[in-house]
Amino acid sequence: MQNSPGVHKGFDYTRTNNPTRKILEKLITKLEYGFGSLAFSSGLASIEATIKLLKYNDEIIAVDDIYGGTFRLLNLYEKFGIRTHYVDMTILDKLISLISKLKNPKLIWIESPTNPTLKVSDIKKICEISKKINNNILIVVDNTFSSPVIQNPIKLGADIVIHSATKYLSGHSDVLAGLVTVKNINLYEKLKYIQNSTGGILSPMDCWLTIRGCQTLFLRMKKQSYNAYKIARFLEKKKDTVIKTVYYPGLSSNKNYLIALKQQKYFGGIISFSLYKNTIYNAKKFVSSTRIFKLAESLGGTKSLICHPATMTHKSTPPNIRKKVGIEDSLIRLSIGIENVEDLINDLNDSLSNFSL
């Protein structure tokens, strides 16, 4: 209803504005210390809206072991003249030389920790260095793995923060949602225009579920990080027998441990590990054998999940690239839930001892 033609009472059409969506957008803006936020129908919809800030001939620099769905999307954008170059962002010299070499670098895409090898990049340093070379480069951080409880990229110098709110923010594996938070009005207005023009908004019901999920976000992240640390320590003890490598930023043996210690409030709920006998067959056998860890693609919910990236989340990443960025055939990813940690360890222990991997 409108007061008079063209004069509405605050909300004219749900694609443009909606009261429940507004509450969620305000909430994530506060949590991420931004200027404003926009809620989309999925994490990938929020990522695509952000890429639409670019134009023909612009170039993106992205973290090399990027989430498979983002890789597929960036690939799709090649045909619209937006090229992506991948680099290991934990090696700053490689990033600096790439920025300096490119003609039109417009956007840097960071995931930290990465999915699934959990590499941690120094977000603050990347922002400082890149802006020094080219102040117009936009820095985007996909903060899905950390949530605002663990790190706040805008505080570290980023321009845009993305969340697949499908994961930790909603927290119960029953919502598909994406959020973009920006640091200034200029970016907000551009993205608001894109959101309204393309229409991939989050429905009021899913906004409400995400708002409700955020009420327990802090408690969940704390417990999931606690459980994950204990499980990572357990897996590390199995190294050189059935397990080859354990990837968890909270282990002091991890090569990015010191950056994680400085940058993150907790180490997060995701662990990856590879098997000594590095075959897809062995990995499939293992991920199909656990009882509490359920075999599923998603992550960040209250219940523990297990996944085989090479045949599940990262099957759209070509095998040669998977190999290059460390996604081995036997790599297994765990999303740790809030269950009793002893039960989770026993489940993994049973599977590890029942199989001659």
Ligand X SMILES: Cc1ncc(COP(=O)(O)O)c(C=O)c1O
Q: Which residues bind ligand X (CB under 6 A)?
A: 42-44, 67, 69-70, 111, 115, 142, 144-145, 164, 166, 176, 178
Q: Could you confirm whether 67 is annotated as catalytic?
A: yes
Considering beta carbons, is residue 297 or 343 the nearer one to ligand X? 297
For residue 77, give the DSSP letter. Answer: G
Considering beta carbons, is residue 74 or 87 the nearer one to ligand X? 74
Q: How many CB atoms lie within 10 A of CB 320?
A: 7
Contact yes or no for 120/155 (Cβ under 8 A): no
Catalytic option among 65, 142, 159, 206: 142
Q: In sequence order, which ranges of the chain are alpha helices (DSSP H)? A: 19-31, 43-51, 68-76, 92-101, 123-133, 147-150, 185-198, 204-214, 217-237, 257-263, 280-287, 319-324, 341-354
**Structure token pair of residue 334:** 């765990």
Contact yes or no for 151/123 (Cβ under 8 A): yes
Amino acid identity of 130? S
Considering beta carbons, is residue 29 or 50 the nearer one to ligand X? 50
CB of 46 to ligand X, least distance (A): 8
CB of 111 to ligand X, least distance (A): 6
Contact yes or no for 121/115 (Cβ under 8 A): no
CA distance 200 to 77: 18
Q: Could you confirm whether 291 is annotated as catalytic?
A: no
Tally the residues of the chain. 357
Contact yes or no for 164/335 (Cβ under 8 A): no
Considering beta carbons, is residue 234 or 247 the nearer one to ligand X? 247
Which residue is it, tokens 């404003």?
A: 36
CA distance 236 to 289: 20
CB of 43 to ligand X, least distance (A): 2
Q: Give the SS3 label for residue 88.
A: coil
Considering beta carbons, is residue 164 or 254 the nearer one to ligand X? 164
Catalytic option among 21, 65, 67, 322: 67
Nearest to 313 by CA among 71, 53, 29, 42: 71
CB of 134 to ligand X, least distance (A): 25
Amino acid identity of 180? V
CB of 86 to ligand X, least distance (A): 15
Considering beta carbons, is residue 112 or 245 the nearer one to ligand X? 112
Peptide bond into 204 cis (omega under 30): no
CB of 60 to ligand X, least distance (A): 15
Catalytic option among 21, 52, 119, 167: 167
**Structure token pair of residue 49:** 């809206």
Which residues are part of the catalytic machinery?
A: 15, 67, 142, 167
